[in-house]
Structures are given as C-alpha cells and as structure tokens.
C-alpha cells in the first residue's frame, strides 16, 4: 500500500489511500476511495487538532473544498509521541483525482499553526 508523508514542525502526517472497487459504480460514474490519515506528534509540546481543510480535485479540474471540525469530533489532544488516526472516504466522478489540505493545530501555550496534509492521488485500479 502506498503512503504519502510530510512533516510540518514536529507533526508528521502520513496518508494511505485505497480504491474501493466494491463500492464503485462505473456505469453511474461513481468511483469510491478511502484513506487513513496518521497524525503523529513528534514534538515536546502537547497539541490539539482544531480544524481541517480538504481540497479534492477531480480529473476535469472540478474542486471540492471542505473546511471545519466535523471530522475531528472531539478535537483530539495529542501528547508528545502520541498519534491520532482519521479514516475518511470520498467519491469521485472520474477514475482519478487528488486530495490536499491542512490541519489547524494549537499548542498547549495557545500558539496556533497550520500543518500540511501531503497531496495524494486517488486512482481507480485497472480491472
């Protein structure tokens, strides 16, 4: 399984996307994907995930932007060395696309900053 990673300050983000062949309906132009986002606090300070922003790009250039705290549920707090895993999914109208974005995090001292989510491709497997 391919993974895509980036690090902003002491926060490591790793994403593992997968094509969901069983949930895809090619005749209706509906291609399903899932992904796991691993957020690891490699620093010395506690952080809290506050918000996220996703941009999903379809192969025809159509963009789907989402922003908010809905996926974060209780806005998890990560102590040094802790990891949070978010499992998500999306449906595209084409075989390929990509996702990118960022998380807004807050340190225990109140400082807020954005942590990049690596751009990762979504590509339907050839059958």
Instruction: Supply the CATH number for residue 30's domain.
Output: 2.60.40.1470
Strands 47-58 and 31-41, sheet pairing: unpaired
* Residues in the chain, overall count: 127
pTM listed for this prediction: 0.90
* pLDDT tens per residue, range 4-38: 999 999 999 999 999 999 999 988 989 999 999 99
pLDDT at residue 72, as a whole number:
55
The boundaries of the domain holding residue 67 are 4-123
* pLDDT tens per residue, range 40-78: 999 999 999 999 999 999 999 999 998 876 555 678 999
Burial class (CB in 10 A: 0-12, 13-18, 19+), 120: buried
Backbone φ/ψ region at 79: left (φ over 0), alpha (ψ -120 to 50), beta: beta
Q: How many separate domains does the chain show?
A: 1
pLDDT at residue 75, as a whole number:
86
- Given a cut of 80, whether residue 101 has pLDDT beyond it is yes
């Amino acid at each position: 399984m391919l993974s895509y990673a980036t690090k902003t300050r002491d926060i490591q983000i790793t994403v593992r996307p997968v094509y969901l062949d069983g949930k895809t309906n090619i005749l209706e132009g509906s291609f399903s994907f899932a992904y796991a986002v691993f957020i690891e606090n490699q620093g010395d300070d506690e952080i809290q995930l506050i918000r996220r922003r996703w941009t999903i790009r379809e192969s025809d250039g159509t963009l789907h932007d989402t922003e908010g705290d809905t996926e974060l549920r209780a806005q998890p707090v990560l102590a040094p060395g802790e990891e949070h895993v978010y499992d998500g999914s999306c449906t595209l109208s084409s075989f390929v696309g990509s996702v990118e974005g960022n998380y807004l995090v807050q340190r225990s001292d109140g400082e807020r900053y954005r942590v990049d989510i690596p751009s990762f491709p979504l590509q339907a497997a050839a059958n």
